[in-house]
Amino acid sequence: MKREHAAILSALDAAGGKIIERWIDETEVKEAGARRAMDAEANGIVEALRQALAAQADPASFRGPEWSDLRHVLESLSGSRAARGQSAADTSLFILALKKPLFTALQQDLGADPASLIEAIWATTTLVDQIAQYTVSTFQQAREDIIKRQQEELLELSTPVIKLWEGVLAVPMIGVLDSNRTQIVMETLLQKIAETESGLAIIDITGVPTVDTLVAQHLLKTVSAIRLMGADCIISGIRPQIAQTIVHLGIDLQGITTKATLADALSMALQKNGWRITREG
């Protein structure tokens, strides 16, 4: 083990609790609950750092197996803070706040040897910077994972399959229709058709702002999949602007029943299923 790394380990062994206390004080957080959470985070980081240095892990190979425990602690910290809505900057500043308490501990141990103190301070700076950099990168990945999961959940929520009548399902489409959303709609709708044994599905595109060739292809694929399940399909929400666009683009919707409104589509679906609705009185 290098002399400067041994000095850091010695400081952690001798004054680990005091270093953690000063570390949290450096963040200037006063709220008791937040300080307890930081104390748990700081203890985990200091213990994993101490174990890595005791195993003579080289900070130059921070991605190596010797640092795996510390990396796992940092990943957990990043994930929990990202889930709580904290920022990458705040998380990085929390890690960097470890420097001053370590510098103070090293100064107390090596104050009589300026050369060794400078080496230890430089090694501490390099090591803490690496920890902070890794924390930021894992934080960004955790945030991206959360955003991706939320987008998927929003997609599922924005494409509900509604049972309008016995044997009649409807999917109201709102917003842009892309490949990912089409796949979710198709999977959800086909699953619902199989579960309810419905014979007719209505795809309502009233909330779709524009229909181009790509959107039309997505709709045709969905209709084809529905027919393969033995069900029929009606597309509703064909507004005048959309009808003109479809004609201008030369999109062939022949063989597919279309209606201007969802009410018209439901009326046709009921007729196809042999239902007649009359007004009482």
**CA trace torsion 128, 131, 136, 138 (10° rounding):** -170
Q: Looking at residue 6, what is its pLDDT?
A: 87
Hey, where are the domains in the chain?
3-149, 162-272
**Gyration radius (Cα) of the chain, Å:** 31
Strands 200-207 and 162-165: unpaired
Own/partner long-range contacts of 61-64 (Cβ < 8 Å, ≥24 apart)? 62/130, 62/131, 62/134
CATH number of 3-149: 1.10.490
- Residue 211: CB atoms within 10 A of its CB come to 22
Please say if the pLDDT value at position 273 is more than 90: no
**Average pLDDT rounded to a whole number, residues 5-27:** 88
Please say if the pLDDT value at position 1 is more than 80: no
Buried/exposed 162-191: b ≥16 CB within 10 Å, e otherwise: eebeebbbbbbbeeebeeebbeebbebbbe
Instruction: Please answer whether residues 110 and 117 qualify as being in contact, where contact means their C-beta atoms are separated by less than 8 angstroms.
Output: yes
Sheet holding 200-207, edge to edge: 162-165, 168-174, 200-207, 232-236, 257-259
- For 228-261, write each residue's pLDDT tens digit: 888 999 999 888 888 888 888 787 777 788 888 9
Dist. CA 130–CA 263, nearest whole Å: 62
- For 26-65, write each residue's pLDDT tens digit: 888 888 888 888 899 999 999 999 999 888 887 778 888 8
Q: Any idea which architecture 162-272 has in CATH?
A: 2-Layer Sandwich (3.30)
Instruction: Please answer whether residues 156 and 112 qualify as being in contact, where contact means their C-beta atoms are separated by less than 8 angstroms.
Output: no
Dist. CA 193–CA 210, nearest whole Å: 27
Dist. CA 135–CA 129, nearest whole Å: 10
Q: What is the pTM of this model?
A: 0.59
